[in-house]
Structure 1
Amino acid sequence: MANHYIYIVRCKDASLYTGYTTDIDARIAKHNEGKGAKYTKVRRPVKLLYQETFETKSEALKREYAIKQLSRKDKLQLIKGALI
């Protein structure tokens, strides 16, 4: 049974990017190689700030969507309250 993750990274320009993956370490490496998302490709390096784990892809994608709807301030509050 694969784990499903949502994550938030901070980009070089201090912007935040939220994404989904089944392999968090590989995904962060891909972002930093410029092979992740189009958004992060020109904003490298990225640093993992936050992650959550889910049993199903559906749950993870719903949470990713919810986080993407948050303001930057709310995302920073989420990160601040979390320990990885």
Structure 2
Amino acid sequence: MANFFDEYYWVYVLKSIKDGKYYTGYTKDLPSRFEAHQNGLVESTKNRRPFKLIYFEGCLNQQDATKREKHLKTHYGKMYLGNRLKSYFTG
């Protein structure tokens, strides 16, 4: 039987502990992708390690995940995340 979580694509947001900036991406395997970011195996984030995973959501297919990732990178998507994670951002 396949793992329940293997059926989804994951959109995620990382916060760099080093520079305080955020990275948004998507993947089929969230634990492995997070590990790759932490180990410097992702070119776009290797100099910003370490990271904290601050948000993720599941999508039923890759097309939905890419659309959601793109949305979260827009002004309105950042506003959504700010409201969704309000208690995180305010401490």
Q: Tell me if both proteins adopt one fold, taking TM over 0.5 as the criterion.
A: yes
- What aligned pairs does 1:40-79 form with structure 2 within 5 A after superposition? 40-70=45-75, 74=79, 75-79=81-85
TM-score by length of 2: 0.77
Structure with bigger gyration radius: 2
Which runs of no fewer than 5 residues in structure 1 stay unpaired? none
- How many residues were matched structurally? 81
Q: Share of identical aligned residues, percent?
A: 35
**Aligned-pair distance for 1:39?**
2.6
| Structure with the bigger percentage of helix | 2
Q: Distance in 2 between matches of 1:73 and 1:65?
A: 11
Q: Distance in 1 between matches of 2:49 and 2:69?
A: 21
Which runs of no fewer than 5 residues in structure 2 stay unpaired? 1-5
Structure 1 residues 44 and 71: CA distance shift in structure 2, 3 A: farther
SS at structure 2 position matched to 1:76: helix
TM-score by length of 1: 0.83
RMSD across aligned positions (CA): 2.3
Q: Is the Cα contact below 8 Å between 2:12 and 2:53 reproduced in 1?
A: yes
- Say which of 30, 33, 46 aligns to 1:27: 33
Q: Is the Cα contact below 8 Å between 1:5 and 1:20 reproduced in 2?
A: yes
